[in-house]
């Protein structure tokens, strides 16, 4: 399967998974599951942007695009990270922080099942997605998949801990862990895309030059 088809498949599949997980998260009262579902929503948009970049960058240079369109891939990666940051700040963090002060009853079994389904889905995408190399748009899509897997694992752990201890704040703690795990590699991906867009030069080896 070509990279473009994999990206479009991931976009459509993540749209469906977002709807299912959000509905079950609201029904079960799980902040961690709602957080994971909004990450799936950002995944769907990010994979769609990456698919556009893959299609657009294949076009050859023209009078208007004299240097080609390869930088569309870096632009897609930067947009993807900005979208992810917005979703985390606008939707996930307020829900998680509010869960500590006013925890709601949670259907931990339903929370566990949905998180497991999401984990299997992301394992499939991880298997289909090729190695990114220097393709920033594929790297950003892979970033979403890798940390969806981590967030699904955190949701499963939160559900198990809630069932074992009865402490509902594990759910909000899990949401904060998901945010913390996502943001650092997201920043690294954004910085790499930014450097390519701005044509940043590699460090000059001044010490070797002075020795000569």
- For residues 165 and 173, what is the distance between their CA atoms, to the nearest angstrom? 14
Residue/partner pairs of 52-56 with CB below 8 Å, 24 or more apart: 52/76, 53/137, 54/3, 54/4, 54/7, 54/137, 54/138, 55/4
The pTM (predicted TM-score) of the whole model is: 0.67
Listed in sequence order, the residues at least 6 apart from 10 whose beta carbon sits closer than 8 Å to its beta carbon are 43, 44, 47, 125, 128, 129, 141, 145
What pLDDT is recorded for position 61? 65
Predicted local confidence at residue 38, as pLDDT: 72
Which residue bears the tokens 């076009």? 59
pLDDT for 62 equals 66
| CA atoms of 115 and 29, how far apart (whole Å) | 14
**pLDDT in the model for residue 208:** 56
Cβ neighbours, 10 Å, residue 161: 17
Residues 6+ apart with CB under 8 A from 123: 149
Predicted pLDDT of residue 152:
76
Consecutive 10-residue averages of pLDDT for the chain (212 residues): 82 85 75 68 81 78 66 79 76 72 66 76 82 70 77 78 78 79 78 74 60 53
Would you state the pLDDT for residue 132?
62
């Amino acid at each position: 399967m070509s990279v473009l088809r994999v990206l479009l498949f991931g976009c459509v599949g993540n749209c469906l998974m977002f709807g299912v997980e959000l509905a079950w998260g609201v029904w079960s009262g799980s902040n961690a599951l709602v957080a994971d579902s909004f990450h799936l929503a950002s995944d769907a948009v990010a994979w769609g942007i990456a698919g556009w970049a893959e299609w657009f960058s294949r076009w050859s240079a023209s009078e208007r695009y004299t240097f080609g369109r390869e930088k569309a891939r870096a632009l897609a990666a930067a947009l993807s990270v900005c979208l992810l940051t917005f979703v985390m700040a606008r939707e996930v963090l307020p829900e998680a922080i509010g869960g500590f002060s006013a925890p709601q009853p949670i259907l931990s079994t339903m929370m566990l099942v949905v998180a497991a389904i999401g984990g299997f889905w992301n394992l499939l995408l991880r298997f289909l997605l090729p190695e990114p190399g220097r393709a920033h748009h594929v790297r950003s899509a892979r970033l979403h998949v890798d940390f969806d897997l981590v967030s699904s694992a955190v949701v499963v752990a939160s559900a198990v801990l809630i069932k074992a201890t009865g402490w509902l704040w594990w759910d909000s703690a899990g949401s904060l862990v998901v945010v913390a795990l996502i943001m650092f590699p997201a920043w690294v991906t954004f910085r790499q895309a930014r450097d390519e867009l701005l044509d940043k030069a590699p460090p000059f080896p001044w010490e070797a030059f002075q020795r000569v």
